[in-house]
């Protein structure tokens, strides 16, 4: 995707907080552009995702963690909480409209300060802005729909917003400070053009996400058919055998070098913790340990193609295969199948059954697995050649999904680069 642009413009202003301001752009205060509308404060236990109440509620936590796109499109996003039907609403309530912007006024880190989303395609739905948010409405026609959220994604504006945040563990911005805060605005035609271009990338990103979800659903269907024997591949008719995982593999977990000794860390041995298993196929790690750390702890080395399972915490039951040599800690179980069984087949099998095992082990808190529990897991398996053929089919599906995810990341990276250039005016658009 390409768009016509002019050369880098001549800059005529230098703002102490907002950097270089392009010719024709302005820096008004937020209060000169937007009106603040009323918000409400309800807790999570007053919300639901499947009730009959048609009153939607935008929580600041979802702005940080759930809504990843600049525009909250109600025709696309399904994960929007609703207020419980028994919640009593204040008389001062104001419902949101298309084009309204919601800003989170609190964040656990500086990066999240002033995170914003813009409402789109409400189509008559009743939506209110909630806890720890500011809701802004342009009543003076100084901005265009689709551009408003990008005002707060201008890197210079984001940087300046951090200077008005206060707090230690949680950073907050006050209404009075936000009202006086200066933003950067291109002329309306340029806003419109920028919004159109960035929307093009949003459409492409959304299509790619839908395609990935479809492929993932197809993969789940394949797993249910092939890994249970409901569907047999051509040429295989032998009965499957029920075995315990511990009878067809050996397993071990690791340990953690003492954090008190700095000589144990920042070495050249990949340090595979349970969080790394979210990669599915581990090709890198965030941290490393040294030979000294390995030798002075119960950390264990795993070789490439070892099957790994997270034992407890938020990642319990997550399965991965490591493509690198590294050391594991006590929260990770390594599984090495016997020569009569295929590692990739067991990997796919465990990915399918682990969620139900974890669910059965959860007793009102975080699940807690163990090597003993995993060894006792019963599975039905075919003979080796059929395992290998099944693994080939499922691995091919995984590879296709991975390629699509890489393309998605490329689109997101391209859009991020465009935002950096267009929102600062480093590149100006040809407005004709």
Task: Specify if 22 maps to a domain.
Answer: no
Paired tokens of 204? 């492409």
Instruction: Note the pLDDT tens digit of each residue in 124-157.
Output: 999 999 989 999 999 899 999 999 999 999 999 9
Q: CA–CA separation, 131 vs 106, rounded Å?
A: 10
Which residues have a Cβ under 8 Å from the Cβ of 98 and sit 6 or more positions away? 119, 120, 121, 122, 145
From residue 152, alpha-carbon distances to 30, 127, 131, 352 in Å are 11, 21, 19, 42
The proportion of the chain whose per-residue pLDDT surpasses 70, expressed as a percent, equals 95
388 in the same domain as 377: no
Task: Specify if 268 maps to a domain.
Answer: yes
151 in the same domain as 40: yes
79 in the same domain as 10: no
- Are the CB atoms for 284 and 324 separated by under 8 Å? yes
252 in the same domain as 140: no
Q: Looking at residue 148, which CATH number applies to its domain?
A: 3.90.220.20
Q: Looking at residue 407, which CATH number applies to its domain?
A: 1.10.287.1120
Q: Which residue range forms the structural domain that includes residue 115?
A: 28-183
319 in the same domain as 367: yes
pTM, to two decimals: 0.84
The region of weakest confidence among 9-18, 131-140, 398-407 is 9-18
Instruction: Note the pLDDT tens digit of each residue in 310-357.
Output: 998 889 999 999 999 999 999 999 999 999 999 999 999 999 999 988
367 in the same domain as 355: yes
């Amino acid at each position: 995707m390409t768009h016509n642009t002019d050369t880098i413009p001549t800059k005529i202003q230098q703002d102490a907080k907002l950097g270089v301001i392009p010719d024709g752009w302005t820096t008004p205060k937020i209060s000169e552009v937007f009106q603040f509308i009323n918000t409400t404060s309800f807790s999570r236990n007053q919300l639901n995702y499947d009730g009959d109440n048609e009153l939607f509620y935008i929580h600041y936590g979802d702005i940080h963690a759930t809504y990843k796109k600049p525009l909250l499109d109600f025709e696309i996003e399904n994960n929007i909480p609703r207020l419980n039907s028994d919640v009593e609403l204040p008389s001062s309530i104001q419902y949101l409209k298309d084009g309204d912007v919601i800003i989170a006024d609190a964040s656990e880190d500086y990066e999240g300060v002033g995170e914003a989303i813009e409402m789109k395609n409400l189509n008559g739905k009743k939506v209110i802005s909630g806890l720890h948010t500011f809701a802004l409405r342009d009543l003076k026609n100084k901005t265009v729909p689709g551009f408003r959220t990008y005002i707060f994604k201008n890197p210079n504006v984001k940087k300046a917003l951090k200077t008005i945040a206060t707090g230690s563990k949680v950073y907050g911005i006050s209404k009075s400070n936000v009202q006086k805060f200066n933003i950067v605005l291109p002329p309306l035609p340029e806003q419109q053009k920028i919004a159109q271009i960035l929307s093009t990338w949003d459409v492409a990103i959304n299509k790619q996400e839908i395609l990935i979800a479809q492929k993932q659903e197809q993969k789940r269907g394949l797993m249910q058919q092939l890994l249970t024997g409901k569907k047999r591949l051509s040429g295989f008719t032998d009965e499957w055998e029920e075995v315990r995982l511990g009878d067809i593999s050996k397993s071990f977990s690791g340990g953690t070098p003492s954090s008190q000794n700095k000589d144990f860390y920042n070495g050249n041995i990949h340090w595979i913790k349970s969080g790394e298993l979210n990669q599915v196929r581990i090709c890198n790690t965030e941290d490393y340990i040294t030979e000294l750390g390995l030798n002075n702890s119960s950390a264990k080395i795993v070789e490439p193609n070892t099957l790994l399972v997270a034992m407890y915490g938020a990642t319990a039951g997550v399965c991965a295969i490591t493509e690198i040599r590294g050391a594991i800690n006590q929260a990770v179980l390594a599984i090495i199948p016997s020569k009569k069984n295929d590692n990739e087949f067991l990997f796919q099998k465990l990915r399918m059954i682990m969620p139900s095992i974890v669910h059965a082990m959860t007793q009102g808190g975080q699940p807690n697995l163990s090597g003993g529990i995993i060894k006792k897991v019963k599975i039905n398996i075919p003979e080796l050649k059929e395992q290998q053929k099944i693994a080939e089919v499922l691995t091919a599906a995984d590879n296709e999904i991975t390629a699509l995810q890489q393309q998605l990341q490329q689109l997101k990276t391209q859009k991020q680069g465009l935002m950096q250039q267009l929102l600062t005016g480093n590149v100006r658009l040809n407005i004709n």
